[in-house]
Amino acid sequence: MSGTFAKGSQTAVTNQNGIPDAALFSDDYKQWDFSSSVDLSKLFNWGTEIQATLDVINLFESKQRSYFQFEDATFTQYNPGRQYLVGIRGRF
């Protein structure tokens, strides 16, 4: 399991979208990812090294948001959702 944190900050200077005193800001962002693998060759006593992998990106479905000068003036909201990656890797 791994986590990423980005502190909200100003992302663009004033004069955004024709509003002279409006700068763009972003909210704090936290994302948790999960990664795991199983060695199938040991599990089934195979001679060839084969692993099954599972990765889950954005486990808790964090959203990203930016806003004009005031926190209730949302500019963008992005919901990337949760992603699952399943794989097989081996050494021959």
pLDDT-derived band at 17 (thresholds 50, 70, 90) equals confident
Q: Which tokens is 85 given?
A: 């990656």
Q: How far apart are CA 49 and CA 4, in angstroms?
A: 32
Reported as a single tens digit per residue, the pLDDT across 31-88 is 999 999 999 999 999 988 999 999 999 999 999 999 988 889 899 999 999 999 999 9
As a whole number, mean pLDDT of residues 2-9 equals 95
pLDDT-derived band at 15 (thresholds 50, 70, 90) equals confident
Q: Which tokens is 60 given?
A: 């808790």
How many helices and strands, by DSSP H and E, does the chain display? 1, 8
The angle subtended at Cα 47 by Cα 45 and Cα 51, nearest 5°, is 75
Is the model's pLDDT at 16 over the cut of 80? Answer: no
Is the model's pLDDT at 13 over the cut of 90? Answer: no
Three-state secondary-structure class, residue 6:
strand
